[in-house]
Amino acid sequence: MTSLPGPLTSNKLLSKSSSGLATLNEAEPYLHRPVTVSRGMEILMQGLLLKRCSSGSEEWRAFCEQVCRRHPIYSLLQQDPITQRAATKPRGYPGDAVLLDLLYQDSSVQSKIRRSGEIGRAIYAYLTQCPSAASVRWRRAFLARLIDETAERVSSAEILSIACGHLRESTESTAVCESRLKRLVALDSDARSLEEVAASKNGWNVECVQGDIKDLLRGRNSLGRFDLIYSAGLYDYLNDSTAGFLTRVLFKMLKTGGRLLIANFMPQNNERAYMEAFMDWQLIYRTERQFEQIASPLTCHIRRIFPDDNRYVVYLELEKS
């Protein structure tokens, strides 16, 4: 069993965090060998989730900052490119487009994975098989189908992607690849993400627009009206007030018959404790009922609300009559 550095062992927090510390100590030896990494990660995920569920918010935050990030296991986990990317936040926030590419196992990040070493690649293999990662890939495939359905439903369809990242769903969309859309507007505040979209579109009818949601909320946009607007990962970071206001703003930007699709991670994300402890990555989780309330007073326009196959992400679709 690994002991903590001297100053922390005398901290009063230690007595409150003993069960969590035991989890870290138990998991660490398994993370030194690629063949046992999976077992170590299972111990870590389960123990951290139990610790989170049994702790108050202040106690949990202190445990993450003063125990998890000072423990020797932290440096082992940072060999994984997903954990390292989220924790270091090279673009200022954890869930950036490159991190999503890592979850997608996209060809653009294969060199990063190869450079991670055997331990890092073993942790990466474990994390990409977790339900949360599978839900992110499910979301990309679902959005591609949604784009194609819109192209079938509406001639010369106009679509807007909010906080588009690298717009990887476009590569899985037949309508995009065959240039059957009138336009697909890719909106993001990150200029580097838009550079990747522009470099990858290969003649697709995609318009890259750099902008912040504050511009949308203040009515500072001239993007036009759309047959489909979707936002896949933004609502996980918005409080209820901002999320509700943005939903109403986006709904106004729809054409008659247009649809708005928004998504949010649900509380049953069993990887959330690991994300918070070792990635410093916090999301705002919502149940189906809580997410439905975000759409108030537009609930009469709800076309459907449903979870993904893992019940990790909830989707809400509104239709403008």
Digit-coded pLDDT (tens) for 139-197: 999 999 999 999 999 999 999 999 999 999 999 999 999 999 999 999 999 999 999 99
Distance, CA of 70 to CA of 314 (rounded, Å):
35
How many other C-beta atoms are found inside a 10 Å radius of the C-beta of residue 152?
12
Same-domain check for residues 138 and 279 = yes
Contacts of 99 (CB under 8 A, 6+ apart): 82, 85, 86
Note down the domain range covering 210: 132-319
Same-domain check for residues 160 and 300 = yes
Same-domain check for residues 114 and 227 = no
Rounded to two decimals, what is the model's pTM?
A: 0.92
Residue 163's pLDDT is 97
- Average pLDDT, stretch 59-69? 97
Digit-coded pLDDT (tens) for 105-122: 999 999 999 999 999 999
Digit-coded pLDDT (tens) for 204-261: 889 999 999 999 999 887 899 999 999 999 999 999 999 999 999 999 999 999 999 9
- Among 302, 296, 269, CA closest to 284: 269
Same-domain check for residues 119 and 137 = no
Residue 205's pLDDT is 85
